Amino acid sequence: MTQPPLRLGILGSGKGSNFRAIADAISAGTLNAEVALVLSDVQHAGILALAHERGYPAQFVPPGKYRSKLEPVVEAWVVDLLRGAGVELVVLAGYMRMIKAPLLEAFPNRIINIHPSLLPQFPGLDAWRQAIDSGVTESGCTVHYVDGGMDTGPIIAQRRVPVLPGDTPETLHARIQEQEHQLYPEIIQQFAEKLRVN
Ligand code: GRF
């Protein structure tokens, strides 16, 4: 029997190429999920434009006065929005704020993130630049559970890429993103299978 699609809540602050890869995998039939809601803390983010273009429910959430997190009352509202949309898995796709108690407690073990390095190496901003500056010959991307720290939650899966002589932050990031776009839909599909069995 075909399982009902896993309902995803996507949070992003940027251009949304990972969201695009997820949406494409759903359209292609390789990911048994549906986009229940897309939220962004950035009013003119590409991810919101893309969601609107494709007809997914999407909205801007004004973040409030802090730079690194949502104001608690806003985060509580985000929880209401996600619950109201029947979200089963929260997927961070280029979301640039920390997740705090209201959201963490509402979706225990149901919030995942993708980060452009082989964690625990290079958490935080511009991980591809950190990789080049440190002289490593290999980098990659990591999908992990989200906890209260900065890119610190338990690792689910990683993909490796070489750092090549002459790489710039842009060329390395592009190589990492190719892997992200394959890995994230695959891991979400594993959740779709796992969460339906339990
Ligand atoms: C990705 O590199 C992801 O690893 C990081 O932010 C970037 C988002 O890119 N968390 P996009 O908005 O999905 O294109």
Tell me the pLDDT tens digit for each residue of 80-106: 999 999 999 999 999 999 999 999 999
Q: Please name the residue whose Cα sits nearest to atom 14 of ligand 1.
A: 17
Index of the ligand 1 atom closest to the CA of residue 113:
10
Closest CA to 5 of 151, 171, 189: 189
The model's confidence at residue 20, banded by pLDDT at 50, 70 and 90, is very high
- Alpha helices by DSSP H, listed for 5-161, are 17-28, 46-53, 72-84, 101-106, 127-134
From 115, 144, 173, 181, active-site residue: 115
pLDDT-based confidence at residue 3 (cuts at 50, 70, 90): confident
Give the 3-state secondary structure of residue 191: helix
pLDDT at 164: 97
Helix then strand count (H, E) for the chain reads 6, 7
Whole-number pLDDT of residue 196: 74
Q: How far is the CA of 94 from the centre of ligand 1 (A)?
A: 4
Rg (CA), the chain: 16
Q: Give the ligand 1 atom nearest the CA of 116.
A: 4
pTM to 2 decimals?
0.96
Residue nearest to atom 5 of ligand 1 (CA): 94
Give whole-number Cα distances, 198 to 81, 96, 195, in Å: 25, 31, 6
CA distance linking residue 102 with residue 74, whole number of Å: 10
Measured in Å, residue 198 CA sits from the centre of ligand 1 at 30
The verdict on whether 115 is a catalytic residue reads yes
Instruction: Please give the mean pLDDT across all residues of the chain.
Output: 96
Q: What value, to the nearest 5°, has the Cα angle with vertex 122 and ends 117 and 124?
A: 100
Q: Whose CA is nearest to atom 9 of ligand 1?
A: 94
Q: Tell me the pLDDT band of 67, cut-offs 50, 70 and 90.
A: very high
Which pLDDT value is given to residue 198? Answer: 55
2 alpha carbon – ligand 1 mean position (Å): 31
Nearest atom in ligand 1 to 20's CA = 13
- Does pLDDT of 197 surpass 70? no
